[in-house]
Amino acid sequence: MPATPTPPRALAVQKVLTEHYSAPVAVGDWQQLEPWAVARFRMEGAGVARTAIAKWVRPAAGRTARSDPWRLPSECAALRFLGEDLGTHLAPRVIACDLAAGLLVLEDLAPRVALDGLLGRDGAAAHAKRLTAFARALGQLGAATAGRADAYYVRRAALGPVNREAEAAGRLAPCREEGVRQAAALGVPPGGRVLAELAETVTELSEPGPFMGLSNGDAEANNLLVHADGPADARLIDFEAAGFTHALADAVCLYVPGPGWLSVGDPMASGLADQHRHALARGIPQAEDDRLFGRGLSAACLSWAVIRLQRFPALDARVRGDNSRLQLVATLEAAARTALGCGSLPHLAGWVRRIAAMLRSRWPDADQDFTDQTRFPPYRPRG
């Protein structure tokens, strides 16, 4: 049988590696990991024989959200900053990078697998140790990078233009503004005290002070790799949207459902909240202050809930029983519950609860008891 031709992108990776090692490197066993612009392959030559991961920039004709030119420089800078500058083992190491070719070659973290797949398959109870590793890794990332923003942005700026202020404020700020508009259209406009607390929230998140830390920009269980069996040795991945922002933004996923989940359980009862907070406090001592921590966490959770509210028109048009409706109600209520539990931003939290109540009335199919864990166990997949 004729040999299978080497894919053009594999040849491009082979060229990048040959130039990196200043010696011939052969690329084989190319396996694209759909639907992402990622492939696993084997490289041999120049004294190396191992598998590695290639990432590339999607064509502009593809998913435009993943074809932004800043994504590859951000990932390369963040991973090198974590591994080479700080010496951490929180994320994969960069082997080679060619921004002109739109290619990044990374350490292969196999046999680790994504935590979200394990949770969806087995449920949260079966992976309590891995969830603990997740919470701890998020805290460790903030702790390791606190106070290091200037050093990171020197490295990042060397790879191309970067808007440091926009990263601190969050790239989803326009979605938050749209969420406010959707609430008003739904008949729950924000009053004066709500608007004042919303402005305080924006300030808290854009000016985090000692809570400024590096985030991968998508702190969810799909971006944590763990061993399916054996030690809970976790690594964070997907730093394409990396930047310095409020460290407690990464904790939202422990308290409020992210895009993949209908519920996430009670992080206080499970111990995930303490694991994250104690790890974070090793680099940010202010995390031990209940008032400061509660305010930052409340701001991050409520902001996320309002951001998700911008999806209302699309969900309102869906058929009765669509799980995304359930998820939006659960998200709003979980964010409000977290803020009220912290004793912070009460007017904003109350407004978010009123929006959830309006959606329950508008969508009878979403008027369900999310505390019933026989129906909505922690980390039940949205789909």
Is residue 2 predicted with pLDDT exceeding 50? no
Pick the CATH number of 8-107 from 2.60.40, 3.30.200, 3.30.420, 1.25.40: 3.30.200
- Tokens standing for 201? 């929230």
Fold observed for domain 113-366: Aminoglycoside 3'-phosphotransferase; Chain: A, domain 2 (3.90.1200)
Report residue 256 as tokens.
Answer: 């409020």
Q: Which pLDDT score, from 0 to 100, does residue 1 have?
A: 45
Evaluate if residue 252 carries a pLDDT over 70.
yes
Helix, coil or strand: residue 229: coil
Distances (CA, A) of 240 to 91, 97, 126, 227, 266: 13, 14, 30, 23, 29
Residue with tokens 């002070």: 209
Residue 230 has what pLDDT? Answer: 75
Residue written as token pair 């919303």: 198
Residue 243, pLDDT score: 95
152 pLDDT exceeds 80? yes
Q: Give domain limits for the chain.
A: 8-107, 113-366
- Decide which of 301 and 67 is more confident: 301
Q: Tokens for 174?
A: 């326009």
Interacting residues of 163 by C-beta distance below 8 A, sequence separation 6+: none
Q: What confidence category does residue 4 fall into, taking pLDDT thresholds of 50, 70 and 90?
A: low
Interaxial angle between packed helices 192-206 and 173-185, expressed in degrees from 0 to 180 and rounded to the nearest 10? 170
Task: Give the three-state DSSP class for 343.
Answer: coil
Query: Residue 354 pLDDT more than 80?
Result: yes
8-107 and 113-366 agree in CATH topology: no
How is the beta sheet containing 103-107 ordered, strand by strand?
A: 26-32, 38-45, 48-56, 103-107, 94-98
Residue-level pLDDT at 224: 98
- Predicted confidence (pLDDT) per residue in 169-209, tens digit: 677 888 999 999 999 999 999 999 999 999 999 999 999 99
